[in-house]
Every structure is written in C-alpha cells, then in structure tokens.
C-alpha cells in the first residue's frame, strides 16, 4: 500500500507526506530523521492518512493536499474516519 498522511507538528502546523510504510515513517519523523520541516517541530502526531494501491495516485493526492489552505486541511482532518 501507499499512503498520504498529514502530521500535526508541535508548533501546530501541518506537514503532508507520502510513504509506503506509514508506521516506520512516523517513527522516522519523531526520531528527527524525517523531513527537514519536521525536525525542528517535534514531536509530530499523525492526524490523517489515506491509502492508495498505486504510488502515482498517492503522490498526486499528496500534491493536491499540499496546495490546500490550512483551513481546508483542517476540514479533511475533522472528517477523518481512520484515526477516530
């Protein structure tokens, strides 16, 4: 599976990313070895994810989410069924 995810950083900002191993990627972020953006904003918390069968679909969705405003990302997160 391929995943698109949104993390809430310690400073209340959001980071959106792609991975094929969600648990390992979250651990990598929290170990300070993930994206440069999250390194200075630890700890991070997984607040949203979507699953895709193809990498292309997941990466296209990642790009689309990254274009959204913070308000629209909040709407997606609040409608989340995966982490409730």
Residue 52 has, within 13 A of its CA and on its CB side, a CA count of: 18
Check whether 52 has a pLDDT greater than 60: yes
As a whole-number percent, the residues of the chain with pLDDT over 70 amount to 95
Cα–Cα distance measured from residue 72 to residue 64, given in angstroms and rounded to the nearest whole number: 11
CA geometry: angle 76, 81, 84, nearest 5 deg: 110
Encoded tokens for 32: 């300070």
Mean pLDDT for the chain overall: 93
Q: 1-35 pLDDT, tens per residue?
A: 999 999 999 999 999 999 999 999 999 999 999 89
81 pLDDT exceeds 70? no
Q: Please give the pLDDT value at position 79.
A: 87
Do the beta carbons of residue 4 and residue 55 sit within 8 Å?
no
Domains and CATH numbers, the chain: 2-78 (3.40.1440.10)
């Amino acid at each position: 599976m391929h995943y698109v995810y949104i993390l809430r950083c310690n400073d209340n900002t959001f980071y959106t990313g792609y991975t094929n191993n969600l648990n390992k990627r979250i651990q990598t972020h929290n170990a300070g070895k993930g994206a440069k953006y999250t390194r200075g904003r630890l700890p991070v918390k997984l607040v949203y994810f979507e699953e895709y069968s193809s990498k292309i679909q997941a990466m296209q969705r990642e790009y689309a989410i990254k274009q959204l405003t913070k308000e629209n990302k909040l709407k997606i997160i609040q409608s989340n069924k995966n982490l409730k």
